[in-house]
Structure 1
């Protein structure tokens, strides 16, 4: 038996993996307690070929945390293109499943495997994911670029014993051809260089009592004000252009808007320990794997725990990624369509000038909630795969000192993540309610594609 291990201390990520391979598909995934014994409770789960994408998502989440400019929508975009490249790279091993080429917005026919030729789909997946991640994280540190190269080599070595050199070479070439095509498609979506310019200086927000202004403590410029103009992966519908107004802005103490702001204010003063924990658990702010990263990390956990095959995992990763990407685009479209002021601005101006939220307010408008939209899109896709009544435990925040958090359904998770932003003092309840609804609609459209 040959053993090839990638020991990676990916802070903020539960799935620290070691790949151990022998002939055929005798592969195991396990945590590495000696590399992170103060951070992670060790578990051992069987992996098979799915160890390849699991290892790549683990590294991608480290890259999201450590690469400049990977704010939540930018991170969601990278996760999505990674997932599409993965699925298309292993499609030939999925018993005639259809390609996403011709189904996704602007994506044409993709390279196909040679007929009557053998491929190793784990090797093809490894090659595709290595290349697409390297392309998407072009500004990664030298150290992290080295990790990409090392993981590609380790994964390749783990599977070369299971096929001939000719099959390995053919599989590598095919994976790279898929990654090249997917990256070329990605370059025309409007978000290619988003990581380089999260805060464009040419954007001037509208002025007025209901409009967003930079918020304390950093008072940053508006983040990604043009992101909503990007091309979504699923072709948009008329619903994406529909007006979904928030309650009319008002300072009248009897108005719906004032009552919503007052609820945030009062809740901030009376938070229970559990509500405080919920707000902090879902914060996933700057320097973390972001809300989209949290959700793809959870997906990775469920893929391994439920022993999905490589093809099943590739499809689920693609679906969740597409949902996250389009959630970021649609949510940011609404944010800058309405440009609604944040609760901290309203409360300090009209209720209590000394009030501060529990969680730092991010630098973009309030309506709709990104957390609610991201979590609803991903959660409803996961529910379609595992069942909404599926009981699970989210272990992704253990490295940050949180206890694992259990849910009786994906709806429970969506609701908790959504209300967490109200508890944190950075969203009105209608921000979260509308975000959850639009995220669910996106999930339904993602799931309506032919897989």
Structure 2
């Protein structure tokens, strides 16, 4: 009797299990048939971005600084723009592996959506970043020389080989490469709509008519058209930066002992009595080769290496710095052409000394405000926000050609880069000080973006 009862129970259990299985199967099938009810497989956890070393990003930035130096047309605003977009592509290719961070799609001007990774698949964020940066760099520097193009391809291959070491899943590798490339393509398309596309190809547009008025910019060399006169109309990444403007410059006057006259006289007097250290400072912050924006990224790399940072910290620093430097140059160029103030060399030759020349050559662009000061102020604000006040570092950007310079803080570096323009005889004090203030405001607006979830 006991055996019969046991058999009976066993049959009931089997029937019940069968019924449950049928019901579950029907439920899954019915869910698939109904839009919006598809069953989503559990998310697959990829290794975090901090698994990978920051050297990947640092190597790509170092190569970009070389490209900026050796590719025609990469004036300071153009270089800043390129660094911004590669930083954006880098960030978006690894953001899903960044703890607490989110995509900037829908959060910066004009960027509505971007490719997203498949949450049911695993990705290697280092490989994705390498693919994203290399793909976009090739697009942005398409006119660079063959040696540079070979270096781009070489760095991509070498970095990819290193990142694939120990990874046996070929589908994972291909998936990561494709995701990075898709991000780069989307960022490339987005970049074409900002007003600065192919700016390298038209630094001095012949369509621009130079305004003629007392105190207005006049050519300072054989270059009769000023540099990138329409750049201030470009799209900012932060809409808040559309309204950031410096205080008005001193009222123009040639009258002796007027405030404007004394501002120019200061440039003249300082240049006549430069110390060796002041000359060294002027040379160091000329940044004629890698541009002020490039110098800011060089400093960021110095600090990232000092901190032995991982790829997640590099992504945070680059995205904040890149967006800021771009907007800083847009705002600065807008100011330059709104006020259209003549350069110190022009004023001094007309009103103080016809034979005077500055220590550093003056670039062909209106004076107010200083791009070096704006850029350094913006950069210092970002780097301080990430690494803190009173962060000491040695700037060896020009090691081998100029002596290194050591600073007790990012603020100290910005102040030196700012005053350097006065030592060089290329900027009025007001253009320096108000430019730096403007740069800081621009950086603060970038920091208000919703980087974190």
Q: Normalising by the residue count of structure 2, what TM-score does the alignment of the two structures yield?
A: 0.86
**Which of 108, 112, 115 is the matching residue for 1:111?**
115
**Distance in 1 of aligned mates of 2:134 and 2:241:** 33
- Tell me, what secondary structure is at the counterpart of 1:236? helix
Alignment of 1:246-261 (within 5 A): 246-261=249-264
Greater fraction of residues in helix: 2
Answer whether contact 2:241 2:331 (CA < 8 A) is retained: no
Backbone CA RMSD of aligned residues: 1.4
Offset of residue 116 of structure 1? 2.6
Change (3 A) 1:148 1:370: same
Alignment of 1:370-449 (within 5 A): 370-399=371-400, 401-449=401-449
Gaps of 5+ in 2: 1-46
Answer whether contact 2:241 2:442 (CA < 8 A) is retained: no
**Distance in 2 of aligned mates of 1:226 and 1:71:** 14
Residues 183-235 of structure 1, C-alpha deviation per residue, up to 9 Å, x if partnerless?
1110000000110000001111211220001103x444211000000001111
Bigger Rg, which one: 2
**Distance in 1 of aligned mates of 2:241 and 2:232:** 14
Answer whether contact 2:349 2:356 (CA < 8 A) is retained: yes
Q: Normalising by the residue count of structure 1, what TM-score does the alignment of the two structures yield?
A: 0.87
Paired position in structure 2 for 1:226: 230
Offset of residue 422 of structure 1? 0.7
Paired position in structure 1 for 2:152: 148
Residues 287-339 of structure 1, C-alpha deviation per residue, up to 9 Å, x if partnerless?
x1111111111111211211222112111111111111011100000000010
- Tell me, what secondary structure is at the counterpart of 2:394? strand
**Distance in 2 of aligned mates of 1:122 and 1:283:** 35
Paired position in structure 1 for 2:180: 175
**Distance in 2 of aligned mates of 1:264 and 1:154:** 49
**Distance in 1 of aligned mates of 2:375 and 2:351:** 31
Alignment of 1:254-403 (within 5 A): 254-285=257-288, 288-399=289-400, 401-403=401-403
**Distance in 1 of aligned mates of 2:342 and 2:233:** 21
**Distance in 1 of aligned mates of 2:341 and 2:241:** 24
Count of residue pairs brought into register by the alignment: 401
**Distance in 2 of aligned mates of 1:48 and 1:110:** 23
**Which of 44, 68, 85 is the matching residue for 1:64?**
68
Answer whether contact 2:226 2:364 (CA < 8 A) is retained: yes
- Tell me, what secondary structure is at the counterpart of 1:132? helix
- Tell me, what secondary structure is at the counterpart of 2:118? coil
Worse-matched range after superposition: 75-84 or 403-412: 403-412
Residues 349-380 of structure 1, C-alpha deviation per residue, up to 9 Å, x if partnerless?
00010100000000000000000001111111
Residues 71-96 of structure 1, C-alpha deviation per residue, up to 9 Å, x if partnerless?
00000000000001000001111134
Answer whether contact 2:76 2:292 (CA < 8 A) is retained: yes
Offset of residue 48 of structure 1? 4.9
Offset of residue 388 of structure 1? 2.1
**Which of 193, 203, 206 is the matching residue for 1:188?**
193
Which stretches of structure 1, 4 residues or longer, exceed 4 Å deviation after superposition? Answer: none
Worse-matched range after superposition: 228-237 or 369-378: 228-237
Answer whether contact 2:374 2:438 (CA < 8 A) is retained: yes
Gaps of 5+ in 1: 1-24, 26-46
